[in-house]
Structure 1
Amino acid sequence: MSQGQQIELTSLSVQQLSQLKKQLDSELEHLTSSFQSLRTTQAKFRDCLKSISIGLNPKTADKPLLVPLTSSLYVPGTLASSTHVLVDVGTGFFIEKSTTDATDFYTRKVADLEGSLKELEQILQSKAQNVRVVEEVLRTKVTTGPQSQEAR
């Protein structure tokens, strides 16, 4: 069904509809999780942009600062350069870039993620609509099921 096949829902049995609903719910949960993960990543990239624009200037070059080692452990340090930063490009690789290049890099990443998030949001809405339709057909079949058997 994920290959784009169209099925007349009213021709399916209650058991098949339940199975289809379970599958759609699972897909919806996975897509929602992916959406949240992308949103979190985008927020981290925005934080990087903010850190570059606010935290790096000639005034902060020799001032002491706290460097995070973990989310709750910081050590004292000083800024080595206010014109160059190390950029995490993925899988543990870091590249030294000028602040301008780093800003461009993170701006592109945020824009790319925004496009992906919009596409994923449309897919999520479509899947949610599919779940609602299947639920409605299932509800109709369940409520009319005993009545149709009594008529026999």
Structure 2
Amino acid sequence: MASSAAAGGQQVRLNDLPAQTLSQLKKQLDEEVSHLTNSFQSLRSAQAKFNECLKSLSAALVPEATSRTILVPLTASLYVPGRLADTDKVLVDVGTGFYVEKDRTKAKVFYEGKIKELGTNLDDLEKIVGGKSDNLRMVEEVLRQKLLAQGGAEGSAAGAQA
């Protein structure tokens, strides 16, 4: 609890830092944890979308689907009826507005790779968030102790003057 890793990999004794510096460090760590948590949620959401694509490849694109009418989205709230002409070829969004035609098997491999990659990134990010959260708790505890000590010292000084 007495030290925490600072930028550059140096060890800093938290007890040696003034309360104002600890407060600034706490604010910075709060912002970092918040940003990393938002990033974690975004990655989790992207992973869920890729999982949904993988499910659609397996469940919706069966040869029997060519005889069924489906709703094709034109916008987020506007659909038109349509029929699938080919259930083996799909267009895969590979990022930044680029689409690549793939057969179902290659699309499945693509999405499985993306899901695995995001899972690895999520695991790494979770460890980073945990470390930052631990650092934040240590800073908060030392700051609380310093503020209590300052409050106690001021109360003693005021009592001695009276």
Q: In which range does the TM-score fall when normalised by the shorter chain?
A: over 0.9
Which ranges of structure 1 fall in alignment gaps of 5 or more residues?
none
Q: C-alpha distance in 1, partners of 2:29/2:13?
A: 16
- Cα separation, 2, equivalents of 1:53 and 1:92: 24
Q: CA RMSD in A?
A: 1.5
2:63 to 27, 44, 58: 58
Letter in 1 for 2:126: E
Residue among 10, 19, 22 paired with 1:17: 22
Structure 2 residues not aligned, in runs of 5+: 1-5
Corresponding residue for 1:68?
73
What's the counterpart of residue 110 of structure 1? 115
Identity %: 53
In the superposition, relative to structure 1, how do residues 70 and 2 fare at CA in structure 2: closer, same or farther (>3 Å)? farther
- The alignment status of 1:145 with 2:150, answered yes or no, reads yes
Structure 2 counterpart of 1:128: 133
Displacement of 1:14 after TM fit? Answer: 0.7
Q: Which amino acid is the alignment partner of residue 145 of structure 1?
A: Q
Letter in structure 2 aligned against 1:143: L
Runs of 4+ in 1 over 4 A off after TM superposition: none
Q: List per-residue Cα deviations over 1:103-152 (Å, max 9, x = no partner).
A: 00000000000000000001111111111100000000000113345479
Name the structure 1 match of 2:82: 77
State how many pairs are aligned: 152
Match of 2:3 in 1: none
TM-score by length of 1: 0.94
Aligned with 1:43 (options 36, 40, 48): 48
